């Protein structure tokens, strides 16, 4: 029986569909931009961060509406697949939620309205691109790479001024590349389902080792761009001070880099899609910690919130409803 939209049953099922254990992915990506936004107060930063934090789950729910065929095989626990909630319900609520997030960011800077609209359109068009090995990773990643730019705009500056910020371009490139790693490695857990439903992903087309190699190249490029963000933040000049914020930035960034590396080593050690999830979990952790480290390097006052967010993300990841799915 389908749960009515205005019911606790729907709310519980929709919460599972949102995948709250991944909220910190968009939260960390947006925070890198917010940390660079000129003249952004703490109150405005908190409001904008809330919108970024929720955006990932709403986007995931939106894309789920268009790929129930493969999810029925790889993720049968999801309420949308089981018929507990309907595609129409999820589309309506997700679009309304994404609209609210976009409107919040647009109130901070009207220029965000265009980027938010492009992001929603990009999410809606993702599934056809996922069917092509060359399309899914870059298409999904450019949408996420908009988040640092939108965060930078939240201070009220023009797009041209935000683009000229020293760390903005490498931040967007770093988010693009490291999120593409998550997309590529994420396909490994669904190989059989994707093959059966006509999704010609990179690993389906070219194989296990070759796809890990592509992901490793993306990770290397992402780490290089991320290192440039840290270098342009002035963190190196503050290393001698050994302030708590400096220690936090270095620790988060290094942990993220190590976990991204370990994700690829773990994936190489297995050829079983049922055992791919530990490597993918490391990739998620690496993405979050790396970009939180950048944010703290850029804005030392974010040290405590970033550490709290990192711990909360780990707890949420460990408590996900299905260990084999991320």
Any residues with CB less than 8 A from the CB of 206 and at least 6 apart, and which?
Answer: 133, 214
CA 64 to CA 70: how far, in whole Å?
10
CA 22 to CA 52: how far, in whole Å?
12
| Tens of pLDDT, residue by residue, the chain (326 residues) | 788 998 999 999 999 999 999 999 999 999 999 999 998 999 999 999 999 999 999 999 999 999 999 889 988 999 999 999 999 999 999 999 999 999 999 999 999 999 999 999 999 999 999 999 999 999 999 999 999 999 999 999 999 999 999 999 999 999 999 999 999 999 999 999 999 999 999 999 999 999 999 999 999 999 999 999 999 999 987 887 779 999 999 999 999 999 999 999 999 999 999 999 999 999 999 999 999 999 999 999 999 999 999 999 999 999 998 888 88
Domain ranges within the chain, ordered by starting residue: 8-318
CATH topology for 8-318 is Farnesyl Diphosphate Synthase (1.10.600)
CA 92 to CA 82: how far, in whole Å?
18
CA 182 to CA 19: how far, in whole Å?
15
Helices (H), the chain: 8-18, 23-34, 42-64, 68-74, 79-82, 87-108, 112-124, 126-130, 136-153, 159-163, 168-186, 191-196, 202-206, 208-232, 235-238, 244-268, 277-298, 303-318
CB 246 within 8 A of CB 300: yes
For the chain, state the CA radius of gyration. Answer: 19
CB 276 within 8 A of CB 160: no
What would the 3-class secondary structure string for 108-132 be? Answer: HCCCHHHHHHHHHHHHHCHHHHHCC
CB 136 within 8 A of CB 214: no
Q: Which residue has the tokens 């994700």?
A: 263
Tokens of 221: 């490029």
CA 80 to CA 91: how far, in whole Å?
11
Q: Which residue has the tokens 């001024």?
A: 161
CB 259 within 8 A of CB 226: no
Residue 14: the pLDDT is: 96
CA 81 to CA 62: how far, in whole Å?
13
CB 233 within 8 A of CB 161: no
Residue 240: the pLDDT is: 75
B/e letters for 31-46, b = 16+ CB within 10 Å, e = fewer, are: bbbbbbbeebeeebbe
């Amino acid at each position: 029986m389908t749960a009515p939209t205005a019911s606790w049953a729907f709310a519980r099922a929709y919460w599972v569909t949102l995948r709250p254990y991944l909220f910190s992915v968009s939260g960390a990506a947006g925070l890198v931009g917010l940390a660079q936004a000129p003249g952004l107060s703490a109150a405005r930063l908190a409001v904008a961060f809330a919108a970024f934090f929720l955006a990932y789950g709403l986007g995931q729910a939106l894309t789920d509406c268009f790929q129930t065929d493969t999810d029925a095989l790889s993720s049968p626990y999801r309420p949308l697949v089981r018929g507990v909630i309907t595609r129409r319900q999820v589309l309506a609520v997700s679009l309304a939620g994404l609209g609210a997030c976009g409107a919040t960011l647009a109130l901070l800077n009207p220029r965000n309205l265009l980027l938010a609209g492009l992001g929603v359109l990009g999410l809606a068009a993702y599934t056809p691109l996922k069917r092509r090995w060359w399309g899914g990773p870059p298409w999904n990643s450019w949408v996420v790479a908009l988040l640092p730019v939108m965060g930078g705009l939240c201070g009220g500056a023009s797009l041209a001024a935000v683009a000229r910020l020293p760390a903005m371009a490498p931040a967007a490139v770093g988010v693009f590349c490291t999120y593409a790693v998550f997309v590529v490695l994420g396909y490994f857990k669904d190989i059989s389902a994707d093959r059966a439903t006509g999704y010609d992903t990179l690993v389906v087309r070219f194989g296990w080792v070759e796809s890990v190699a592509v992901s490793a190249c993306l990770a290397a490029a992402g780490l290089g761009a991320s290192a440039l963000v840290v270098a342009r933040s002035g963190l190196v000049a503050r290393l001698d001070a050994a302030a708590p914020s400096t220690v936090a930035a270095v620790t988060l960034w290094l942990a993220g880099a190590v976990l991204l590396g370990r994700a690829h080593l773990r994936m190489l050690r297995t050829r079983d899609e049922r055992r791919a999830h530990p490597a993918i979990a490391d990739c998620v952790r690496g993405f979050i910690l790396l970009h939180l480290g950048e944010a703290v390097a850029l804005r030392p006052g974010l040290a405590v919130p970033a550490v709290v967010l990192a711990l909360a993300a780990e707890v949420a990841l460990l408590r996900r409803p299905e260990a084999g799915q991320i």
